[in-house]
Structure 1
Amino acid sequence: MQKGSSFSQKHPFIFGLTLIVAAVILFAGVTAAFRIGFSDDGFSSDTRLGLVRIEGMITDSEETTDWIRTLREDESIRGVLLRINSPGGAVAPSQEIARAVERLAQAKPVVVSMSTVAASGGYYAAAPADLIVANPSTLTGSIGVIMELSNLQELMDKIGVKRQSLTSGALKGAGSPFRPMTQKEREYLMGIVNDMHEQFVEAVAKGREMDIDAVRAIADGRALTGRQALELGLVDTLGGMEEAIEELKKLCEITEKVPLVEAPEKKSGWLRDILTSSININITSEGLNPGLVIH
């Protein structure tokens, strides 16, 4: 190699990799800048619709409620589509999402599009919307609360393990899996379940503008098809996501095609995306929220 060789000649691999990285960064920057003024279809983004997805078991609400608040405060967002495909989940996060949807609906139109299932906690989140669209075979409803507790006493006896506990009050150990439940404990825990169930019923009655006794009559945990829910007043019309978007545009008095803004975006680097897609690894953080759930 000659003495005056350039860096590209001395290190062709590193030089080539640097050019590829620079090109990717440049492309990403240009694309982001372009999307500030235009949608993917080339339409002005002065008027936009928002999209919120609620999928899977509801165990946490922070990411969803943060995005709902962002859409509520963005004046360029004329209305929001809430796409739900969830069987329910923990009570508190479902309740938090429902409150966020209620505040959003006070600011701009909100339409729900139900996918395969939007039951229990999934329906809780949908109730405050202006309009609910379900497929005829969507599973929804299931208005109820369940507390599941295990009793491991017989197993512990078989393996010869004894457990002792000291509590500060008679009900502090209620629900322990190591002994049978007393009648007093059962009444106490049932009171918690009933109170949360009543909160659920009240939220549905308020959101759907239904008589609370009419809601109580069907709030026995039963799941319903979209067509059955329509007959009972739990949904407004039948259709898929496309029909729901058209209903939202009507409420927003929009006739032209407008971009649909979806977030939060997956927080990951381009290199990680390439590696994980290449070796088919899904990097997630999943947790189980046991005990009191609505499903």
Structure 2
Amino acid sequence: MVKPNQEKPSSPRWAWITVIIILVVLGLLSMIIAGVIGIFVGAGSSSSSIEKVNGAGNVAVIKVEGPIVSTSVPSFGGARAAVSEDIVKLIEKASKDNSIKAIVLAINTPGGSAVASDEISSALNDATKPTVAWIKDMGTSGGYWVASSTDYIVAHPASITASIGVIGSYLEFAGFLEDYNVTYRRLVSGKYKDMGHPFKEMTEEEEMIFQQTLDDLHELFIQHVAEGRSMPAENVRNLATGAFMSGKKAYELGLVDQLGGQKEVKAYLQQKLNTSVEFVQYRQPKTFFQTLVE
């Protein structure tokens, strides 16, 4: 029995705590399930199993479509990702194929991992054949990182591109836990080991470390574009605000070589190679699981 002057436990508070626990458990389960599915999604890919779509051709077209990631991730409802591991294999295969005279990257991506973007860029730098970036709807951030490693960039006037910047973010529930009298116990080895943990407020010192890391990546991005585009680093730095721009504006600022689309890419390569050009799409064959979910 509850005494008249004794407060009843706050049921809404415990309801929220229960919800948080359930969400954490579901999150862990989803990670395990995603890992298992990922094994099936990536199964069957190898450098020796490359599909050529649309028959014979002398210019390889490789799609960079969706967020740029390092390794295969589960794909649901037709969602796509640009997997650097696969794209690098395709570039290497096309570079060694004697029937292929040039490589075109058909880019339609908002960007993604800096490491994955640089892996693709390194493969382009190692390619022994002319390379062209064809920016379609979007080629921003990591997508432009990749494009700037090619010999020539073509974008539609209405394409969205550039966005030379780096972003980092995290969720913070510290205030929420405090409101519901839930304590986060910090047990770590290393002063900054739990930096950015969602259950604690980030200190000013930790924010400085976080920001310095982003600044380092930003400078790496700037230097990469400056080298790839043969532009003074200071000029690129002035443009590297993180803002995206139209293909038309990028062309005016020297971030794009030509405005246009497939027709202009083909015309450029015909003049460059001094021969007729036919495109052939290079891609990794779909796994059985990918065929099912798509």
Aligned-pair RMSD on alpha carbons?
Answer: 2.1
Instruction: Please list every run of 5 or more consecutive structure 2 residues that lacks an aligned counterpart in the other structure.
Output: 1-50, 71-83
CA distance in 2, matches of 1:257, 1:95: 29
Q: What is the correspondence of 1:30-49 to structure 2 with a 5 Å cutoff?
A: 40=55, 48-49=58-59
Aligned counterpart in structure 2 of residue 84 of structure 1, from 96, 107, 118: 107
Letter in structure 2 aligned against 1:187: M
Distance apart, 1:259 and its partner CA: 4.7
Residues 251, 260 of structure 1: alpha-carbon distance in 2 compared, 3 angstrom cutoff: same
Per-residue CA deviations over 1:192-250 (Å, capped at 9, x if unaligned) read 10111111111100100100000000001010100000011100010012211221232
Structure 2 vs 1, CA of residues 72 and 257 (structure 1 numbering), >3 Å: closer, same or farther?
A: closer
Q: Secondary structure at the match of 2:134?
A: strand
> What residue identity is the alignment partner of 2:137?
T
Higher alpha-carbon deviation: 165-174 or 114-123: 165-174
**Alignment partners' CA distance in 2, 1:112 and 1:249:** 15
Query: For the Cα contact (< 8 Å) 2:184–2:200, is it kept in 1?
Result: no
Of 246, 252, 260, the match for 1:225: 246
User: 2:67 maps to which residue?
Assistant: 57
State the shift of 1:93 in Å. Answer: 0.7
Aligned pair partner of 1:195 in 213, 216, 240: 216
One-letter amino acid matched to 2:198: P
Matched letter for residue 218 of structure 1: L
For 1:96, the equivalent position in structure 2 comes to: 119
Alignment of 1:137-216 (within 5 A): 137-216=158-237
1:77 alignment partner, SS class: coil
Instruction: Find the aligned partners of 1:212 and 1:164 in 2 and give their Cα distance.
Output: 46
Structure-2 change in CA distance of 1:257 and 1:98 (3 Å): closer
| 1:69 is aligned to 2:92 | yes
Q: Name the CA distance, whole Å, in 2 between partners of 1:49 and 1:210.
A: 28
The one of 253, 262, 269 aligned to 2:282: 262
Q: What TM-score comes out, normalization by structure 2 length?
A: 0.73
Kept in 2: contact 1:136–1:227 (CA 8 A): yes
Change (3 A) 1:137 1:178: same
- 8 Å contact from structure 1 (residues 143, 222) kept in 2: yes
Residue 266 (structure 1) shift: 2.3
Partner of 1:28 in structure 2?
Answer: none
1:206 and 1:109 map into 2 onto residues whose CA distance is 17
C-alpha distance after superposition, 1:244-295 (max 9, x if no partner): 12212322221x35352422232349xx96xx5xxxxx34xxxxxxxxxxxx
Q: Is the partner of 2:69 in helix, strand or coil?
A: coil
Partner of 1:242: 263
For the residue of structure 2 that corresponds to 1:148, the secondary structure is coil
3-state SS of paired residue (2:182): coil
Letter in 1 for 2:116: P
The alpha carbon displacement at 1:53 in A equals: 0.4
Structure 1 residue 186: Cα displacement: 1.1
Unaligned runs of 5+ in 1: 1-34, 277-281, 284-295
Report the secondary structure of 1:146's partner residue.
Answer: coil
Larger radius of gyration: 1
Residue in 2 that maps onto 1:16: none
Displacement of 1:191 after TM fit? 1.1
> 1:117 maps to which residue?
138
1:108 to 105, 109, 129: 129
Return closer, same or farther for 1:245/1:158 CA change in 2, 3 Å cut-off.
same
Q: Partners in 2 of 1:257 and 1:97 — Cα distance?
A: 24
Question: 1:121-161: CA deviations, max 9, x gaps?
Answer: 10001101111000001000000001102211122123332
Rounded to whole Å, the distance in 2 between the matches of 1:157 and 1:224 is 42
**What do the CA deviations read for 1:3-47 (whole angstroms, capped 9, x no partner)?**
xxxxxxxxxxxxxxxxxxxxxxxxxxxxxxxx99xx74xxxx5x7
Amino acid at match of 2:237: R
Q: TM-score, length-normalised on structure 1?
A: 0.73
CA distance in 2 between counterparts of 1:127 and 1:198 reads 15
The separation in 2 between residues aligned to 1:257 and 1:228, in whole angstroms, is 29
